[in-house]
Amino acid sequence: MGQDEQGRGGQPVNGDGPGQEVWVPQSWGELLDMLFGEAWNPVLHRHRSPYVFHGGHDAAFTLRTSLQGLGGDLRANERHLLRNFRKYARNRPSADDSLWDWLAVGQHHGLPTRLLDFTFSPLVALHFATRDHQHYDHDGAIWMVNHQLTNQRLPARLQQLLREEGSDVFTVELLQQAVDHAGSDRRFTPLALTTLEQLAPDPFLMFFEPPSLDERIVQQYALFGLLSDPTARWDEWLQASSQLHRKIIIPASLKWQVRDHLDQANVNERTLFPGLGGLARWLRLYYSEAEVPEPDRERSHDEEMEAAESE
């Protein structure tokens, strides 16, 4: 992104399309304001953000699922992938042998799926945008999606299920109810995805929380987003309305500062990926040599007061 395209003082700039709202913070404080802003919920009288977050190390990337990365006949590939994953996962106990359970397990372990990883935590999303210092020479990004607004575009049956549950996101069990209502049964069948797609003529976006498969899922405050049509492009779907989402650019010049603040806040590979692998990755990044320019000295509170009195 060129200098003339960047926003100043937390102001939005033109994005990659008519519905793309892009924000570019110039400081750590501005970044936090953008991520945690608009969180007040007048119904709950609490600060509960309507956004979910996806972090990426390269702002130039577009949102694309791992299934779309395979190419070919996506619907056929998806059926084959899920069927064979379930068949060969012999040692994996499953209390719920539903398609949605296996879809979540597959995504969690790297199987190409139509799912996209999100988190309720903006700090966790920041971690994924800054977890690899080899990408600190270019801007990263956080995609924020208002899941309460996307729910308003769901088929009536799905909206009703959420209202009855008093929830803004689905669970594996709620998704199973949705396809049950459409005439499917409770056993594993990739055809449930076809059933879901047929609930509406146009693609719709839904979010669901996976089962607590392990500590990693829990620590990352994770959820998955999925479009009913596996061929639909996320960026095109979201750009239909700027109210649905925004993109926050993390300038390369801010990445080391963001990383250091996240480490101090205990948001890192060690805590988000419990185990020796996460511990080793955290230590490698923590002790990596960095050439970070010294920031301008911030004025103290007394200096701020004196400056205000003199104006």
**Whose structure tokens read 């064979």?**
84
CA–CA dist 250, 59 (Å, integer): 8
Half-sphere exposure of residue 44: CA atoms within 13 angstroms, side-chain side: 10
pLDDT of 9 reads 41
Could you count the other beta carbons within 10 Å of the beta carbon of residue 197? 17
Could you count the other beta carbons within 10 Å of the beta carbon of residue 17? 12
Q: Quote the pTM value.
A: 0.85
Burial tier of 27 (Cβ tally within 10 Å: 0-12, 13-18, 19+): middle
How do residues 1-15 score in pLDDT, each as one tens digit?
233 233 334 445 555
CA distances from 168 to 124, 164, 275 (A): 20, 11, 32
The stretches of the chain forming alpha helices (DSSP H) are: 28-36, 66-70, 74-88, 99-108, 122-130, 147-151, 156-165, 172-181, 191-197, 215-219, 234-238, 255-264, 269-272, 276-286, 301-310
Low pLDDT (below 70) residues in the chain: 1-19, 92-96, 180-190, 242, 296-305, 307-308, 311
CA–CA dist 267, 269 (Å, integer): 7
CA distances from 13 to 129, 207, 212, 237, 251 (A): 20, 27, 38, 20, 14
Terminal Cα-to-Cα distance of the chain (whole angstroms): 36
CA–CA dist 44, 168 (Å, integer): 13
How do residues 63-113 score in pLDDT, each as one tens digit?
999 999 999 999 999 999 999 998 898 776 555 678 888 899 899 889 999
Q: In the numeric block, which tokens belong to residue 299? A: 């004025």
